[in-house]
Amino acid sequence: MPRPYIASRSGEPLHRRTFDVLVLGGGIAGLTAAIAAARRWRVGLLTKSTFDDTTTFLAQGGIAAALGPSDSPELHFQDTVNAGAGLCDEEAVRVLVNEGPDRVRELMDICPRFDKVDGQIVLGREGAHSVARVVHAGGDATGSEVSSALAEAARVGSSVQLYENEFVIGLLTVEGRCVGALTLNLDDGGLTLNVAMVTVLATGGAGQVYGRTTNPPVATGDGIAMAYRAGAAIRDLEFVQFHPTGLAVPGQETVQLVTEALRGEGAYLRNAAGERFMISYDSRAELASRDVVVRAMVAEMRLEGSDHVYLDATHLDAAWLHQRFPRVTAGLAEHGLDLATQLIPVAPVCHYFVGGVVTDVWGRTTVPGLYASGEVASTGVHGANRLASNSLLEGLVFSDRVVRDLDRYIGRLGEDVRRLRFDLPEATADADGSDAVSARHRLTSVMSDKVGVLRRGDDLRAALADLNALTSELRFASLGEAEYELLNLLTLGTQIAKCALLREESRGVHLRDDFPAVDDQHWRRHVTLRLPTHEREEGVIGKVERS
């Protein structure tokens, strides 16, 4: 399918909305940006599903910030840079750690359910943090508490126009500038041109490219794929963070995360022989950075011929465990497991995309008029391996900076986007359409088998051949949500495999069996991709004219 991203219509009316600021995504990054921007601008926020169907909502971990008396932004900076394995953008990290505490305090005003004892905020410790600095809400329900509070603030306390069940097909561009997005309404099938002076991408990650993931079904990499097609630079896609402790039992549509906070509170990792093995791999034991823990787990599983190890919290107080980790407790109970009395089978699982759309420290992408924040963005704060609980903080900090930069950008625009007109080509169909479901299964199998936790050059080359063949075979009788998601996942999968093959070393979360060492001489740098000008989406979505 040589040009798979043509959006078209079959005689149905083409709707139109106009905003000053269009925000795409309903997680912490999108809601933060929309609420703040609406204080001055006319804002529309579109989310692919509902506000409780986001990666933010599922987050069990908390938010890291230097709030305690024994902590400081400098300590947080050092921990973040150390975890990033030589690839952090230090300017971006300084922004994160210095502005983070104020952003978290502002969030606490919106979300009052952060955990406190005697009026004082409770600070937890997680892997690779030198001190306790992670705040939680509702124990291990931070994501749902924060997401619900922000969504309520957007609905009731702001003028943001909210639209759920809106699938973004592609970005609208004219002369290299982003002027909004084309969307498909998943309730009635209608197409809408959402025209805006500024578009903010906050669409999250792409965990569904692996099938076995902690991400919700909506995490199909749509934002990164559409930005790439529109000409934006993307980078570091080889750095896919596999969380060490995904629940290793069958029958899960979205893999349950067994939160890292458990290891922060004293839980151990044990192999099949019952041995606590992390003390043999790193002086920090279970509190080592995620990439170190994953490497150790993979080594143990290989030695034992097993597909999992065990998390042991049985030495901790049972009543306290159930109170502190209510979501984990409830989720495990669905599989007949109990933290307090049983060893819990765990294995690495796709969790977070470190790479994404390249931005500066103000969230500006390489496409004028397009900003990005949160997991969809590559700000440089995570380097080659994200420090635990820095992700929600990133969304807070950089969405705030995006909004602060809007005055500068919108203020110098000389053209009113409301005067632009867009035409879409008429639809054409292939009578023998491909099955998107089976094609997606082929894709996720290739990614899991050949581009997973531990990689080899031969496997990566085979993966690229498989993905290219799958792309060329696709023929669709019609285009809907399943087909667009598949095309986005194929874009992401291909670029992940390509970047993983290029980086001939092991660094952070990128592990090469055939290149096991860090190679600072050749690879202490980023891998950046940009679609050639003649292949970009301008002219693919439709003809753009000024009326």
Residue of 290, 324, 401, 512 marked active site: 290
Residue 38 CB neighbour total at 10 angstroms:
22
Helices (H), 136-179: 142-156
What is the rounded distance in angstroms from the CA atom of residue 115 to the CA atom of residue 318? 19
What is the rounded distance in angstroms from the CA atom of residue 120 to the CA atom of residue 123? 9
Mind giving me the DSSP string for 49-77? S-TTSSHHHH--S-EE---STT--HHHHH
The answer to whether 503 and 523 are in contact (CB under 8 A) is yes
Which pairs count as long-range contacts for 116-125, CB under 8 Å and 24+ apart, including other chains?
121/67, 123/67, 123/68, 123/71, 124/62, 124/261, 124/264, 124/265, 125/264, 125/287
Residue 338 CB neighbour total at 10 angstroms:
15
What is the rounded distance in angstroms from the CA atom of residue 372 to the CA atom of residue 370? 7
Q: Which amino acid is at 480?
A: G
Angle between helices 73-83 and 90-110 (to 10 degrees): 120
Q: Positive or negative, the Cα torsion across 423, 426, 430, 436?
A: positive
Helices (H), 244-325: 261-264, 290-304, 318-324
φ, ψ (nearest 5 deg) of residue 82: -65, -40
The answer to whether 379 and 357 are in contact (CB under 8 A) is no
Residue 356 φ/ψ region, left for φ over 0, alpha for ψ in the -120 to 50 degree band, beta for the rest: left
The torsion defined by the Cα of 188, 191, 197 and 198, in degrees rounded to 10, comes to 70
Q: Is 155 a catalytic residue?
A: no
Burial 380-403 (b: 16+ CB within 10 A, else e): bbbbbbbbbbbbbbbbbbbbbbbb
Residues annotated as catalytic are 290
